[in-house]
Structure 1
Amino acid sequence: MFLQPGDEVIIPEPSFLMYRIAVQCTGAGGVYIPLKSLNIDLDRIKDAVGSRTRMIFICNPNNPTGTIISRKSFDNFLKDIPQDIIIVIDEAYIEFVRDIECLRGIDFAETGKNIVTLRTFSKAYGLAGLRIGYCITSFEIADLLNRVRMPFNTSIPAQAGACAALDDEIFLNKTIQTIHQGIDFLYKSLEDMGIEFFKTQANFFLINVKKDSKLVFENMLQQGVIVRSMTSYGFPEYIRVNAGTFEENQRFIKALKKVLA
């Protein structure tokens, strides 16, 4: 609906892999902008905008780096983006952000720009099995999306679960607190081990294992711990780990010490 063969979509790289796949399915072409010190490079994205640009994807916090874009930098960026370009802001992990200066798409919903902010119940709300989320956008774009959506795209139980989740602030706050405490515990443990890592604004972060991350993944799996090799994202010596409960985090550190010994 928004993209045709020959159109271009600007995508930071590395970022969520499904952006690339979704664009390819439309026949449009992707313009991939490398990160700058693990951060989305808004200046290079702006410079890449051309006559065929129809859409820009921004993952905030970015997956897999956990870095964010500030509200101020996005505001400056937005001033130079043509009115007809759709900016998709993926906020799948926004609930975990601690930085109060972080961009939040809802703050720009009434700027007159074509901004589509995506949110999900699969992460902080713990409802991944319901496959439900929502977008915040203009009435015009919402109307277009409504015209082409599948007639039975969400179930009544999924909608009921989502509504209940929005009302359950106690659960959400407890989840966020658990993740933040887990992240801090993992930071301290890795520092004590002398292992390099990158700090995050999400519930996951990157760890430099200084060896083949696929091998580390396999060895960790044998210890009953699942991590993500970042080879497919262009970081062959990095793994991505999610913070969990205190017991899970302890188990991860114990397994990592054994694997890297």
Structure 2
Amino acid sequence: MPDGQRHNTRVLVRGGTIVDPASGRHEPGDLLIEEGRIAAIDRPGVIPDAGCEIVDARGQIVAPGLVDMHVHLREPGYEYKETVATGCMAAVVGGITSVACMANTNPVNDSGAVTKYIIDKAALARLANVFPIGAVSVGLAGEQLAEFGEMREAGIVAVSDDGRPVMDSSLMRRALEYARMFGFPVIAHEEDLNLCRGGVMHEGLTSVRLGLKGLPAAGEAVMVARDIELVRCTRGRLHVAHVSTAEAVEMIRRAKD
């Protein structure tokens, strides 16, 4: 809705299924917006529609804006694939109002300057809320910690080397320690490259039959086990991304309990 109309229009969203995890609501209903804010939620037909712009939501879900915590906005450096503006536009069309974007840009988001660039681009787009995720290591190379403090001051909400595992256990330990100091989690891609490098599919009967190098489940499990132990000794916060095996899911479940 254009800015000039946003705070001058009463909008009644009628006939949808209202889903609100915060209140436990999941039922048909109508929703009234006044002054750009939700003014009322009630059973179908209860809210008067006088003076309202009517939005017919029959067959639709009416929910708070969704959050996608793992997107690739590709800017800076790969604008031919995506920009902050086009990525945010695609998000809001799909009902996603907040996104957390990975650091695999060019240059990599491993400094406060790149973080600020992304946030400034998001402010210009004026679409979805954008929360940058900084790199764990400089250049995603897995050798030297990125500038956590500088990136935190600029606005990152987490650190991750995205699809690259942090193979150096000492580096991962220090990442968890520093991330804890600055109050954000480390998002980890758990894959032991010594076991998985060159693999193209799950290791099993099918990979053997096709003659293709497989990715053993152990390649994920050993890294998850390592990082769970590192969390215990650092009291850091860990989010495991790209989980693909039942073994890893069970290990994470036990660690959370």
Category of TM-score, reference length = shorter chain: 0.3 to 0.5
More contact order relative to length (CA 8 Å, sep ≥ 6): 1
Q: Would you tell me which structure has more helix in proportion to its own residues?
A: 1
Q: Would you tell me which structure has more strand in proportion to its own residues?
A: 2
Specify the structure having the higher radius of gyration (Cα).
2
TM-score, structure 2 normalization:
0.33
